[in-house]
Amino acid sequence: MTYYSSQQEMDAAIAVRPQAKKRLTNKQIAFISVFVAISVTVNAVAARAMGNKLSFAYTIDFMAGYFFGGIAGLLVGGIGDLLGCLLAGYAPNPFILLSSCLLGFIPGMVKKLKVSLPASIVISYALTLTVCTAFINTYGLWLMYGGGRTFFAYMAVRLTAQAPVIIANIALTFFIMPLFRKVLKAEIFN
């Protein structure tokens, strides 16, 4: 019989490990890849319109972050923007790329607050509107197209133009999230 001088030695001898990190399943990775493909398509179409065309990138990135976590949402938003710009023939703007990453990351972090779905949607969009659209995106575009206007004057014009896009994305998210929540939870989380 073997005797151990401490609990640590005994734990080491029987290989007690801390709980392993949760990993994504193959099915979840496949779904994330589909979200990336949709995000690339949405961003490629939106890039041609210079931000004045209705884009559903917010909704796609929100769903990726909400269902698969902040890192997956960050990847969907970032890869979607990067490849979307390249496919549309534009060089990626690093500020808009950062903002796109945060569009998916923020909902993943908000979900950890354990609030209801409607509260998650509202909090996520409030944060992404403030951090991403109003400041990071606007700053990146102001550097390129500011045309002698102050940052805040450019922001006022841009937010006025972006309001219908944001409202459409919020409405779409409220409409489709309950359906996607049921379908995706049944399909990938069981």
Q: What is the pLDDT of residues 29-84, one digit of tens each?
A: 888 999 999 988 887 776 444 445 678 889 999 999 999 999 999 999 999 989 98
The DSSP element (H or E) to which 107 belongs, if any, is helix 94-111
Give CA–CA dist 128/136, Å, rounded. 10
Q: What is the pLDDT of residue 77?
A: 93
Q: What is the pTM of this model?
A: 0.79
Burial degree of 178 (CB within 10 A; 0-12, 13-18, 19+): exposed
Residues of the chain with pLDDT under 50: 10, 16, 47-51, 190
Phi, psi (5° rounding) for residue 112?
-65, -15
